[in-house]
Amino acid sequence: MRIPCPFCGERGVSEFSYRGDATLQRPDAGSENALAAFVDYVHLRDNPAGRHREFWQHTGGCRAWLVVVRDVRTHAIEQVSAARGLSQTVDVQMVEV
Amino acid sequence: MHYSILSILTQALRGQQGWTPAWREAEPQRHYDVVIVGGGGHGLATAHYLAKEHGITRVAVLEKGYIGSGNVGRNTTIIRSNYLLPENTPFYEWSLKLWEGLERDLNYNAMVSQRGVLNLFHSDSQRDAFARRGNTMRLAGVDAELLDRDAVRALVPRLDFDNARFPIQGGLLQRRGGTARHDAVAWGFARAADKRGVDIIQNCEVTGIRTTEGRVTGVETTRGFIGAGKVGLACAGNSSRVAAMAGLRLPIESHVLQAFVSEAVKPLVKGVVTFGAGHFYVSQSDKGGLVFGGDIDGYNSYAQRGNLPTIEDVAESAMALMPGLGRLRLLRHWGGLMDMSMDGSPIIDRTPVQGLFLNAGWCYGGFKATPASGWCFAWTIAKDEPHPLNAAFRLDRFATGHVIDEKGAGAQPNLH
């Protein structure tokens, strides 16, 4: 499997680190059901057999966080974009810390 | 047909013409007391123990492919009970005890071979950790021996003991661990369950789970609707997909794990040896092939095949531990779908849907657990409550905080 990094070009998967499901919405910590929402956020996954939107980090290259859309049945990559701006503000801030 | 020395001799005289199929080709009936979804090792074992231990014989096992096509035929056949956490140790020890009596129980040669499982350590801190693990095991009544370097050398001479980075200092040995013939385990459980009246229905994929007022009533399949009083899910890598049919989201990701077999050579490795400095384990099959594996590929996958970087990683570990392996050719390699849970431990429990039970989250440790998993799942289904051995394998433990994180990696399935 090769991932086309928007900054570095297409590279082998061993340059990248997998960072999991990118569809998850970080809950509002101040909301009423925050505890239950965080349990779901941390532990539960759709785990679909098909298109999967996921985070990868180009740890062996530019170190950018990427959002990759991949078919987990075939490893065919449909789309790659920089995570900055795509994910929620809270997550992006966490990345920058 | 009962298998015995007499049946072998009789068949030898009759030109091997009288053997009958090991199980019936069953047609699905309209209704069962229990339907097990998934005809892998765990599903078949569950059916066997439902019939044997609880007298529930109106049972169907539904398998979308053929018996043995899933993970029960895609593993490295290792059996052991060298676990550390109090929730795990008694469960896996019960599994090993069931393995020890399995062939007599099933009247089937599963080739259970207690040739020992040796975990190597390469540093002082690792020795301390293994000594602690060994002591924990012995306190729980499990056998464990801490070996020094010379004792390891006597047992497995052809390792790289003086590796510059990872010199072997010793190992933790469980002599009662070993290997079993994985296909025969599936076939043996299938045959034994069938003999007690369980219907094993192959090429029958479940496409929906029907519920009425929060209670399961049956499953939609590619061979029509099958009614059921209770439904047990034992679908390994496809657990999330099947559970989603009942509206459940699981604490599970599916990942692929690759395994390898080399060409056959003369006896080289006694028992199972695991490399303490990397993720690598090797044993030798009775045919002589070296069976080995390493890490999961590390990202979500439903492809029953892996990618090259992990193969390279496994090969590097192999060369670091046993440089002689580099002279062998790889005969074949394969991938299986692991239901990686969020804490690396399994789930055997009821679900929020009445009458629907879940057996999942085995990560890459499911094979050794096959008998106890089936035994405990059968108990849970029959009595509507978990047995003390699987009481900690709760589905809701992630909400209550009672996670069982043997590796301490947190909620990151690709790190377990």
Residue A87's pLDDT band (cuts 50, 70, 90): low
Residues of A in Cβ contact (< 8 Å) with B312:
14
Whether residue B18 has pLDDT greater than 50:
yes
Mean pLDDT calculated for residue range A68-97: 74
Say if pTM beats, i.e. exceeds, 0.90.
yes
Looking at residue B86, what DSSP letter applies? T
- Residues B239-289: tens digit of each pLDDT: 999 999 999 999 999 999 999 999 999 999 999 999 999 999 999 999 999
- Residues B306-360: tens digit of each pLDDT: 899 999 999 999 999 999 999 999 999 999 999 999 999 999 999 999 999 999 9
Give B304 to chain A, closest Cα distance, Å.
8
The proportion of chain A whose per-residue pLDDT surpasses 70, expressed as a percent, equals 88
Closest to A74 (Cβ–Cβ): which among B254, B303, B412?
Answer: B303
Contact: B300, A54; criterion CB under 8 Å: yes
Contacts of B309 (CB under 8 A, 6+ apart): A12, A13, A14, B297
B342 touches chain A (CB under 8 A): yes
Contact assessment for residue B373 and residue B349, using Cβ atoms and an 8 Å cutoff = no
B132 touches chain A (CB under 8 A): no
Q: Using CA atoms, how far apart are residues B100 and A41, in angstroms rounded to an integer?
A: 42
For residue B290 the two structure tokens come to 């070296």
A45 touches chain B (CB under 8 A): yes
- Residues A34-54: tens digit of each pLDDT: 999 999 999 999 999 999 999
Q: Which of B335, B350, B343 lies closest to B387 in space, CA to CA?
A: B350
The proportion of chain B whose per-residue pLDDT surpasses 90, expressed as a percent, equals 98
Residue A84's pLDDT band (cuts 50, 70, 90): confident
Residue A91's pLDDT band (cuts 50, 70, 90): very low
Contact: B254, A49; criterion CB under 8 Å: yes
Closest to B252 (Cβ–Cβ): which among A45, A49, A74?
Answer: A45
A13 touches chain B (CB under 8 A): yes
Give B179 to chain A, closest Cα distance, Å.
31
Burial class (CB in 10 A: 0-12, 13-18, 19+), B415: middle
How confident is the prediction for chain B on average, in pLDDT?
96
